[in-house]
């Protein structure tokens, strides 16, 4: 049924239309602008774009409040522009996935308007109502501190409606078969216009039972299978990439034991422990997070990431671990959000320290899964903490040192471009960095190129190797008779490690893929390596003849694995 597992070894780039490139000069990014920047993205080497929501919306939650699923918001362009865009991506071999926000609609969606104004409307039951205030109305908010409740009284409807998120985002009654059919229709529509899948927003909430009397909502996992079947029937290489910040013990429920539910999920477990490791130089909990998220069907894949458009959610760490990350990366209350996370971008969190930024990216790119990077991080963009909530990390892309960072010709960009200081567009922009071979942009381009040449990471099995030092994480990947060893020193001090890369009694040279610093084994087959502060190494086991040695099947030649 699956035609292509491209997502096992892709590089995904996340961007939002509104802040990428404004071609028509109204201060808001648009499809024309994005089209003009496609060659930039192609040159960077990313193989898949993930677009944040761009459908018609009042834009009260950056488009995660959809008022018409079958249209492009006029501020971004037209459906015609969208198809031009997917076509141009196809020409460049870039796949497009889009956000699918179906847990809720905007309260301005005609379905909700009909539902609230007429109890007999067929749309009434498309949402979740209660005649009286439910007992748990003040529980389960996703945005604590900003959102007051999960049920709001609607005067027009004379009833309470359920909203897991902000009150202008009424939850759809996803258990209603008519709603379910409509959701499939929405997916079919965008697939027909050229998308290769969906980043499914808020999956645990979509599949949760909803209602005033529901105290412990159960997940309806069958829904995931029906979404999966549908997208795959329509397009064999289409994927579902789920946003599901869940516990590892539930991973297989979301992937499906037989790999028949979500193709991909963001690895929130690893993400949070990765930041803990960056904060404390203790890689123990990260190693554990890698082990507990290891079991997955062969066709399933993790999406690995550092930062995204939301806050860095630290809710899965222990209180002590969370405080350690806050202390290192978000000590100020203004940097924290929703009692659980940090709202900053990566570069300011790491104090613009190039060594640490490279370390963080190198590590993320070599963790088991498919890397997902966020626009602007390739040039080390900063944040604007004067903007509310998550908007601080959603400022326009900084293209050049021209007015407004070359993002717009308008005098009034919808969201202000960061200007002045360490992260201002005058200093941090793509044009300057393109001319500098040592820039972050060119480093990112090179690391993406190398990552694509290491399909072992996307496809292979991994083992954590002993380094004897908690600050150094060593991973070994094996795939089709090839091995790869990656090392990361998360500490600000250099150290020496002794490494046994194997276990199979192989004694071989380690060839450094990023510099001339190769490593020869000692008589016992071990490697003695000095890692500098925040150092990282990507080694091939054996030699650079690995492509000649690569077998068509997994395992040793002759072995039928
Ligand atoms: C997801 C999105 C977030 C949005 C929310 C409501 O968590 O990532 O940006 O606000 O869903 O749709
Ligand atoms: Ca525009």
Per-residue pLDDT, 561: 34
As to burial, measured by CB atoms within 10 angstroms (0-12 exposed, 13-18 middle, 19+ buried), residue 516 is exposed
Residue whose CA lies nearest to ligand 1 atom number 3:
310
Q: Which ligand is nearest to the CA of 200?
A: 1
Residue in 14, 61, 303 to alter for ligand 1 test, most ligand atoms within 8 A of Cβ: 61
User: pLDDT per residue over 366-414, tens digit each?
Assistant: 999 999 999 999 999 999 999 999 999 999 999 999 999 999 999 999 9
Q: Encoding tokens for residue 507?
A: 């004694």
Ligand 1 mean position, distance from CA 310 (Å): 7
- Of ligand 1's atoms, which has the minimum distance to the CA of residue 390? 9
The full length of the chain comes to 561
Neighbour count for residue 122 (Cβ, 10 Å): 12
Residue in 202, 204, 389 to alter for ligand 1 test, most ligand atoms within 8 A of Cβ: 202
Residue whose CA lies nearest to ligand 1 atom number 2:
201
User: Nearest to residue 57, comparing CAs of 47, 46, 68, 49?
Assistant: 68
Cα 141 to Cα 38, 151, 163, 168, 235, distances in angstroms: 38, 10, 9, 13, 36
- Of ligand 1's atoms, which has the minimum distance to the CA of residue 308? 8
User: Which stretches of 201-254 are assigned E, i.e. beta strand?
Assistant: 239-242
Q: Encoding tokens for residue 240?
A: 């579902």
Ligand 2 mean position, distance from CA 23 (Å): 5
Per-residue pLDDT, 48: 98
The answer to whether the pTM exceeds 0.85 is: yes
Cβ < 6 A, ligand 1 pocket: 61, 64, 101, 165, 201-202, 243, 309-310
Per-residue pLDDT, 558: 46
User: pLDDT per residue over 317-368, tens digit each?
Assistant: 999 999 999 999 999 999 999 999 999 999 999 999 999 999 999 999 999 9
User: pLDDT per residue over 427-457, tens digit each?
Assistant: 999 999 999 999 999 999 999 999 999 999 9
- Of ligand 1's atoms, which has the minimum distance to the CA of residue 61? 10
Q: Is the model's pLDDT at 559 over the cut of 50?
A: no
Residue whose CA lies nearest to ligand 1 atom number 4:
64
Q: Which ligand is nearest to the CA of 59?
A: 1
Q: Is the model's pLDDT at 505 over the cut of 60?
A: no
Average pLDDT of span 166-192: 98
Ligand 1 mean position, distance from CA 263 (Å): 20
Cβ-contact 41, 3 below 8 angstroms: no
Ligand 1 mean position, distance from CA 71 (Å): 20
Residue whose CA lies nearest to ligand 1 atom number 12:
64
Ligand 1 mean position, distance from CA 262 (Å): 18
Which positions are catalytic?
201, 243
Q: What is the mean pLDDT of the chain?
A: 95
User: pLDDT per residue over 130-148, tens digit each?
Assistant: 999 999 999 999 999 999 9
CA distance 247 to 193: 35
User: pLDDT per residue over 60-81, tens digit each?
Assistant: 999 999 999 999 999 999 999 9
Predicted confidence band of residue 1 (pLDDT cuts 50, 70, 90): very low
- Of ligand 1's atoms, which has the minimum distance to the CA of residue 166? 6
Residue in 166, 310, 313 to alter for ligand 1 test, most ligand atoms within 8 A of Cβ: 310
Neighbour count for residue 383 (Cβ, 10 Å): 24
Predicted confidence band of residue 507 (pLDDT cuts 50, 70, 90): low
Ligand 2 mean position, distance from CA 88 (Å): 19
């Amino acid at each position: 049924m699956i035609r292509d597992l491209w997502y096992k070894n892709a590089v995904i780039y996340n961007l939002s239309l509104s802040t990428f490139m404004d071609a028509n000069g109204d201060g808001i990014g648009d499809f024309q602008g994005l089209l003009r920047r496609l060659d930039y993205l192609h040159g960077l080497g990313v193989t898949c774009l993930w677009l944040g929501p761009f459908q018609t919306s009042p834009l009260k939650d950056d488009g995660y409040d959809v008022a018409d699923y079958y249209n492009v918001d006029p501020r971004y362009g037209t459906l015609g522009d969208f198809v031009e865009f997917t076509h141009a991506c196809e020409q460049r071999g870039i796949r497009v996935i889009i956000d699918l926000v179906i847990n809720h609609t905007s309260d301005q969606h005609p379905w909700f308007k009909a539902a609230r104004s007429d109890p007999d409307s067929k749309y009434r039951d498309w949402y979740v109502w209660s005649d009286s205030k439910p007992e748990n109305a003040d529980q389960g908010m996703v945005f604590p501190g900003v959102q007051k409740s999960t049920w709001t009284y609607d005067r027009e409807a004379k009833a309470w409606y359920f909203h897991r998120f902000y009150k202008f985002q009424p939850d759809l009654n996803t258990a209603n078969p008519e709603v379910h059919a409509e959701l499939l229709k929405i997916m079919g529509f965008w697939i027909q216009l050229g998308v290769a899948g969906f980043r499914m927003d808020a999956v645990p909430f979509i599949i949760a039972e909803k209602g005033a009397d529901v105290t412990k909502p159960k997940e309806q996992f069958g829904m995931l299978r029906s979404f999966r079947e549908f997208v795959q029937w329509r397009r064999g290489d289409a994927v579902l990439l789920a946003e599901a910040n869940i516990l590892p013990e539930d991973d297989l429920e979301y992937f499906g034991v037989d790999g028949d539910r979500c193709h991909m999920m963001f690895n929130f477990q690893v993400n949070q422990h990765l930041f803990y490791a960056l904060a404390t130089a203790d890689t123990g909990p990260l190693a554990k997070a890698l082990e507990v998220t290891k079991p997955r069907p062969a066709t399933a894949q993790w999406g690995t990431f550092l930062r995204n458009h939301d806050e860095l959610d630290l809710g899965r760490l222990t209180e002590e671990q969370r405080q350690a990350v806050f202390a290192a990366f978000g000590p100020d209350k203004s940097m924290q959000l929703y009692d659980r996370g940090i709202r900053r971008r990566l570069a300011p969190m790491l104090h613009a320290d190039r060594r640490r930024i490279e370390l963080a990216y190198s590590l993320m790119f070599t963790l088991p899964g498919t890397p997902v990077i966020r626009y602007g991080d390739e040039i080390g963009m900063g944040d604007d903490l004067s903007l509310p909530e998550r908007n601080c990390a959603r400022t326009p892309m900084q293209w050049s040192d021209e007015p407004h960072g070359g993002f717009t010709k308008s005098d009034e960009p919808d969201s202000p471009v960061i200007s002045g200081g360490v992260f201002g567009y005058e200093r941090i922009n793509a044009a300057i960095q393109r001319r500098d071979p040592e820039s972050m942009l060119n480093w990112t381009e090179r690391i993406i190129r190398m990552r694509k040449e290491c399909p072992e990471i996307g496809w292979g099995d991994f083992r954590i190797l002993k380094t004897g030092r908690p600050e150094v994480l060593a991973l070994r990947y094996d795939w089709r008779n090839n091995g790869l060893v990656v090392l990361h020193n998360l500490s600000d001090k250099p150290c020496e490690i002794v490494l046994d890369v194997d276990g199979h009694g192989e004694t071989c040279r380690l060839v450094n893929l990023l510099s001339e610093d190769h490593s020869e084994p000692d008589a016992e087959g071990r490697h003695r390596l000095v890692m500098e502060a925040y150092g990282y190494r990507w080694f091939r086991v054996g030699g650079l003849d690995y492509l000649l040695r690569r077998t068509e099947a997994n395992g040793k030649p002759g072995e039928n694995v």
